Amino acid sequence: MTDSHSSLLQSALKMALGALSIESTTIVIERPAEMTHGDYSTNVALMYAKQQKMSPLALAVQLVEQLKSQAIPGIEKIEVAGPGFINFYLTAKAINNALADISTNQNYGKSELEKGKKIVYEYTDPNPFKVFHIGHLMANTVGESLSRLGEFAGADVQRYCYPGDIGRHVALTIWGFRFMDESMPEDTVSLSEKVTFLGKAYATGAQKFYEAEKAAEEKADDSVEKIEFKKFELEVQTINKKLYDQSDEELNKIYAQGREWSLEHFEEIYALLGTSFDRYFFESQATKPGLEIVRANTAPNGLGIFEESDGAIIFPGEKYDLHTRVFITRFGLPAYEAKEIGLARLKYDAYPYDKGVTVTANEQNDYFKVVLKATQLLFPEIGTKATHISHGMLRLTSGKMSSRTGNAISGESLLNEMNEMALLKMVERDMSLEDKHTVSKQVGVAAIKYTVLRQAIGKDIIFDPEKSLSFEGDSGPYLQYSVVRANSVLEKGKKENVTPSLVAPSVESDKLKAGTLDWAGGTLERLLVRFPEVAAYAYSENAPHHIATYLMELASTFNSFYASTQIIVKDDVGSAYRLGLVEAFTKVMNKGLWLLGIQVPAKM
RNA sequence: GCCCCUGUAGUUCAAUGGAUAGAACUGCGGACUUCUAAGCCGUCAAUGUUGGUUCGAUUCCAACCGGGGGCACCA
């Protein structure tokens, strides 16, 4: 394994430094980003040059002399480079051993960082009655990838989803019916029509409501605008209240129907995206425990963590350098905050985890700080384990999207659009229409997911629907395409009876050696062997984009190799090894793309 | 007003305090026609400003300028 090289180098360097009577506190062995800088590299000469009153270069030269007398296993070449770096190169044999692991080890690339740990990931959290917009697509993409990284790090992972099936948005949707020409669709129409109706109802209700609120702003209490808004507010709150206590038969029916439609629709999307949740916690379930916990701990009761203020129950965040938030409204209804507390309790009771991760957009960062603080005070055993990871917002070049104003792009429409574009690219392919549809979906999803995962997750994505989702270059489909082509070479190998083999070139003929590690200095091999470290690093940093960057470099290197080298050559003994490399490439790519939640099409 | 995040080629993104700041798209210029051209090769082009810490700063710190988000009854 490559990690053992790193520790071997550590101790070798310690000895070398000792020989020069330098007491070393930290020795950093890094993997240089640049392949021409060797397989491992250290900057110790730069670090200790000053205290030794030597130039870094001179110290590096002395160190290398010391190191060379040690004969470190697996290291072929040691050289001084740049201002005083010491670069190490692995032997062909060492690289080859690691390569062989790719073809024989089913678990290649996995680590045991979190072995035996229980980790739960909560993500996506769409709202029934509202559209599944691209923000949810993003949360799902990020959450799914983090979950897979967790699994790859050896954890027992549970995937949770927390649909917002109760709250003012539901009330606004049903209230919005009265402004619409159409009524609740019949059960016979398509699911997508039903869901579209609900989305429209929400947009209508929300628009009417917030327009009225805005109009009433800064108006006198007895103004027409103010009176109308008060009326609206009461109506919405009344519906909301009835929904919470389920006291109105008619409303209950509408609610149950709409909720079912939405949830069914979400399932279709999850299936397309490749997520399968282990468990759903509904906001409606979190209501009761949330209210109870908050009430039981409102001063002077219980721990006195919450306080009453203006008829509402708040958490005084200012005490902790956070901001104060309302947990229970003056109407006695739980705000999102109270439900979040209830949810925290429900989740932990259902599955006492070692680490709980909630993935949301970064606009909720400050909100989560408050809720997590309250959770810590209420339930220390949960508070120390629950964490919040945020992703950036998808930002249109034209400004912020909002489902209130209706300028949000629905997840479904984006998926459809990508699907169609992918289909268009395949017009000339010799495939059945059915296969084309399967592939175009996989490609469309890949384009979207890669766009989300190629950059650090906390940062906003500037999104131009016309340009952003590319099928070329730095894109998901590029990665898929490189694997598809590699697979097609493997197919040819089967037909020509060439068996992939990664037998060490050093024990084979010179001709074989010339055709293998020789290509670009063994760049492909050296890159392939780095995968396990990249996966571990991406997990520990919660950073799927390291996987994306790595796969991009790997695929690009493979494509160069593919373009410049004929892999299967009649009667050439090198064919088997080159084919072995191709096979290793497909295995690493498959695992890497899996970590991103991207499927590999059979053909494209 | 207060708090948080952020500023890298024309554009969209990378760069565990290190080497010549990497890619992709766009532009310009090529090659092959062999296992899928959603591909390959070459080329032009960037760290907001001013200081500080450090042997070394895109990275850490401060100020300023620009962008985004949040801050009581929405989620």
**Lowest model confidence (mean pLDDT) among A97-101, A149-153, A352-356:** A97-101
Whether cis (ω within 30° of 0) applies to the bond prior to A505 is: no
- What pLDDT does A466 receive? 65
User: Is residue A169's beta carbon less than 7 angstroms from any atom in nucleic acid strand B?
Assistant: yes
- What pLDDT does A509 receive? 46
Are A27 and A44 spatial neighbours (Cβ–Cβ below 8 Å)? Answer: yes
Cα angle value A323/A362/A599 (rounded, 5°): 155
pLDDT digits over A81-102, tens only? 888 999 999 888 888 888 989 9
pLDDT at A232 over 50: yes
Report pTM.
Answer: 0.93
Q: How far apart are CA A517 and CA A577, in angstroms?
A: 10
Q: How far apart are CA A249 and CA A265, in angstroms?
A: 25
Tell me the sheet residues that pair with A85: A81
Mean pLDDT of A6-16: 90
Q: How far apart are CA A193 and CA A33, in angstroms?
A: 51
Tell me the pairing of strands A75-81 and A461-463: unpaired
3-state secondary structure of A158: strand
pLDDT at A402 over 60: no
Q: How far apart are CA A374 and CA A369, in angstroms?
A: 9
Question: Which nucleotides in chain B lie less than 7 Å from some protein C-beta?
Answer: 3-6, 11-16, 18-20, 23-26, 34-41, 55-56, 68-75
Q: Which nucleotide is nearest to A329 (CA to C1')?
A: B73
User: Is residue A28's beta carbon less than 7 angstroms from any atom in nucleic acid strand B?
Assistant: yes
Q: How far apart are CA A38 and CA A337, in angstroms?
A: 52
- Measured from the Cβ of residue A28, the count of other Cβ atoms closer than 10 Å reads 11
Give the DSSP H or E segment for A575.
helix A574-596
- What pLDDT does A413 receive? 87
Question: Which of A42, A55, A39 shows the shortest CA–CA distance to A14?
Answer: A42
Window 344-383 of chain A: CB closer than 7 A to strand B: 362-367
Task: Report residue A62's pLDDT band, with 50, 70 and 90 as the boundaries.
Answer: very high
pLDDT digits over A157-168, tens only? 999 999 999 988
Q: Which nucleotide is nearest to A339 (CA to C1')?
A: B75
Mean pLDDT of A191-205: 91
pLDDT digits over A371-381, tens only? 999 999 999 99
pLDDT digits over A126-135, tens only? 999 998 988 9
Give DSSP secondary structure letters for A301-346: STT--BEEETTEEEE-GGGGTS--EEEE-TTSPBPHHHHHHHHHHH
Mean pLDDT of A175-189: 90
Window 176-235 of chain A: CB closer than 7 A to strand B: none
* A8-18 residues labelled b (16+ CB within 10 A) or e (exposed): bbeebbeebbe
CA of A53 to C1' of B52 (A): 25
A247 φ/ψ angles, rounded to the nearest 5 degrees:
-95, -10
pLDDT digits over A474-509, tens only? 999 999 999 999 999 999 999 999 999 887 544 444
**Lowest model confidence (mean pLDDT) among A148-152, A223-227, A536-540:** A223-227
Mean pLDDT of A306-332: 93
Q: Is A459 left (phi over 0), alpha (psi -120 to 50) or beta?
A: beta
CA of A370 to C1' of B49 (A): 36
3-state secondary structure of A423: helix
CA of A228 to C1' of B44 (A): 62
Q: Share the mean pLDDT of chain A.
A: 90
- What pLDDT does A519 receive? 80
ipTM of the complex model: 0.96
- What pLDDT does A71 receive? 85
Q: How far apart are CA A517 and CA A513, in angstroms?
A: 7
Task: Supply the DSSP symbol for A37.
Answer: G
User: Is residue A420's beta carbon less than 7 angstroms from any atom in nucleic acid strand B?
Assistant: no
- What pLDDT does A489 receive? 96
- What pLDDT does A514 receive? 39
Mean pLDDT of A520-539: 92
- Spatial CB neighbours of A574, under 8 Å, sequence gap ≥ 6: A511, A512, A514, A515, A516
CA of A482 to C1' of B9 (A): 27
Q: Which nucleotide is nearest to A324 (CA to C1')?
A: B72
Are A449 and A480 spatial neighbours (Cβ–Cβ below 8 Å)? Answer: no
Token digits of residue A305: 């963590």
- What pLDDT does A220 receive? 81
Q: How far apart are CA A506 and CA A483, in angstroms?
A: 28
Q: What percent of chain A has pLDDT over 70?
A: 94
- What pLDDT does A1 receive? 37
Sign for the pseudo-dihedral over CA of A576, A582, A588, A590: negative
- What pLDDT does A552 receive? 97
Are A303 and A378 spatial neighbours (Cβ–Cβ below 8 Å)? Answer: yes
**Lowest model confidence (mean pLDDT) among A16-20, A106-110, A250-254:** A16-20
Window 241-280 of chain A: CB closer than 7 A to strand B: none
Are A356 and A120 spatial neighbours (Cβ–Cβ below 8 Å)? Answer: yes
Q: Is A74 left (phi over 0), alpha (psi -120 to 50) or beta?
A: left
Amino acid at site A594:
W
